[in-house]
Chains A and B, each alone.
Chain A
Amino acid sequence: MSVVEIKNVTKSFGSLQAVVDVTLSVEKKETVIICGPSGAGKSTLLRCINGLERPRQGEVWVDNVEITGDKANLREARKEIGIVFQSFNLFPHMNVLNNLILGPTKVRRVTKADAISKARELLERMGLIEKIDAYPDELSGGQAQRVAIARALAMDPKLMLFDEATSALDPEMIKDVLDVMADLSNRGMTMIVVTHEMGFAKAAANRVVFMVDGRIVEEASPEVFFQSPQDPRSQHFVNQIIGI
């Protein structure tokens, strides 16, 4: 059963066509990597999946709810979609615990006690329980991003989106975050990940989707994509990130 169905989605900003006629489906428990050169429309496509961008044409279905239709549907569906941004976007005026329980208590209407115990469990898992009272500006980038992942997971989503989650991090912190993401993937979370991290793709991805100029030009398993890409643009891209 597919969790995400993207059907012929087109999104433009003025005269710029960011996403052009993209069709993609993601199965339950699958981890799909979206990669491609900058400006390929990867982030825009990802943002169409939780309605942060509204496509001009096409449909997006998440968990059998059409989010490109009714606005009420979109609000409902967003409860099931966690997103992790490149720049963390933690709420700077709240400590870690309050960042984690805001969504569950206000949107899911979970009791505060339940939300707190869930938050503690997630922070344990992230190795960040000692930061529970810290404010976001007291965290390193890697810690902040893991808190952001925990904040998304606190909503018990069925789908997790990662928008270049490690691009803003110092190299030594990337691994901590990728480990958390790989662990999440192994636990059976359905994930769509915009990233260039090949190590992560090989370790956790079921599929790699390669985009150029708003279109999907290649879809393959990570092994095939990184070793013998078919499309010349994919070959060029893979060569570049391998550093040949």
Chain B
Amino acid sequence: MEPSAYGSGFWGVSAKILPILLRGFANTLSYYAWSLLIGLMIGAVLGLISSSRLRVVRYPIIVYIYIMRGLPFLIILFVIYHVLPYFGVTFSATYAGILALSIHSGAYYTEIIRGGIESIHTSQREAAIALGLSYFHRMLYVIVPQAMRLILPPLAGQMVLHFKDTAVLSLIAVPDVTTVGRQVMQANRQPFIVFGWVAAFYAAICYPMLKLALLLENRLKHSQVRS
């Protein structure tokens, strides 16, 4: 017989654990939102720089991208959380997690944005230059609007991967939905129900984003056929 404190039956157990899991999920969403904001800013700035002719600053960006793409996310997270303190840089688990997610996803966003901008034909750049448009106006009105169509589908796909990476933060014990789920499971011994809900939360975010990515990709295909 189940101890009544943990509820009984699927709905009984669920009613007990859902409020706790939802708090964890809210944390997951907050880590995601912050790291998405910072990651996209990194991607936009570095993507623009590395697609420009500022060759001097391109090299450090390439090194950064190689490091981020060449290491498992978990190692990046551990370096920031466990290694940096030896160099006098200490973050709380939450900040370490958000920072790791930001710089890791930022590298991928950089590559996607750089690729999108570079795939706009030089002739568009030249037409804009010939009109006398400044770099800023050229990007704002001519290049970026066209690049966006190419950038959005892979960006949406990368945002899904980024979201799923938030689960890794549970390994430095931030109170995200995965950590909370594991704690709840250790208490009530109901892994099926607990991780059923945890999985449902992740799917509730990922599935619409995957749909969106697919939609954007199809739209891009059709517009390419048209032009």
Against B, the Cβ 8 Å flags (1 = close, 0 = not) of A76-91 are: 0011011101010111
A107 interface contact, C-beta 8 A: yes
Q: A106 and B137 in contact (CB under 8 A), knowing A52-B130, A92-B227, A137-B226?
A: yes
Q: A103 and B133 in contact (CB under 8 A), knowing A85-B127, A87-B123?
A: yes
Closest B residue, CB atoms, query A104: B131
B146 interface contact, C-beta 8 A: yes
Number of A-B contacts (CB under 8 A): 53
Which of A87, A92, A137, A155 meets B131, CB within 8 Å?
Answer: A155
A91–B141 alpha-carbon span in the complex (Å): 9
A93 interface contact, C-beta 8 A: yes
Against B, the Cβ 8 Å flags (1 = close, 0 = not) of A84-121 are: 01010111110000000011001100000000000000
Is the CB–CB distance between A93 and B132 below 8 Å?
no
Which of A75, A91, A102 meets B124, CB within 8 Å?
Answer: A91
Is the CB–CB distance between A137 and B227 below 8 Å?
yes
Q: Looking at chain A, what size class is its interface with the partner chain?
A: 20 to 34
A190 interface contact, C-beta 8 A: no
- Residues facing A in B135-167 (CB within 8 A) are 137, 141-142, 145-146
A90–B141 alpha-carbon span in the complex (Å): 13
A87–B134 alpha-carbon span in the complex (Å): 22
Is the CB–CB distance between A78 and B132 below 8 Å?
yes
- Residue numbers in A under 8 Å from B129 (CB-CB): 52, 78
A230–B212 alpha-carbon span in the complex (Å): 67
* Min C-beta distance of B144 to chain A, whole Å: 10
**How many B residues, CB 8 Å from partner?**
18
Is the CB–CB distance between B131 and A107 below 8 Å?
yes
Which of A89, A92, A152 meets B126, CB within 8 Å?
Answer: A89
Which of A81, A89, A107 meets B127, CB within 8 Å?
Answer: A89
A33–B159 alpha-carbon span in the complex (Å): 54
Against B, the Cβ 8 Å flags (1 = close, 0 = not) of A29-59 are: 0000000000000000000001010000000
- Residue numbers in A under 8 Å from B123 (CB-CB): 85, 87, 89
Seed contacts A102-B131, A107-B131, A155-B132; 11 additional CB < 8 Å A-B pairs: A75-B132, A78-B132, A82-B130, A89-B124, A91-B128, A91-B142, A92-B227, A103-B131, A106-B133, A107-B132, A137-B226
Hey, which bits of chain A sit against chain B, CB under 8 A?
Answer: 50, 52, 75, 78-79, 81-83, 85, 87, 89-93, 102-103, 106-107, 137, 151-152, 155
19 contacts between A and B (CB under 8 A): A50-B130, A78-B131, A78-B132, A81-B130, A82-B130, A85-B123, A87-B123, A89-B123, A89-B126, A92-B227, A93-B145, A93-B146, A102-B131, A102-B141, A103-B131, A106-B137, A107-B133, A107-B137, A137-B226
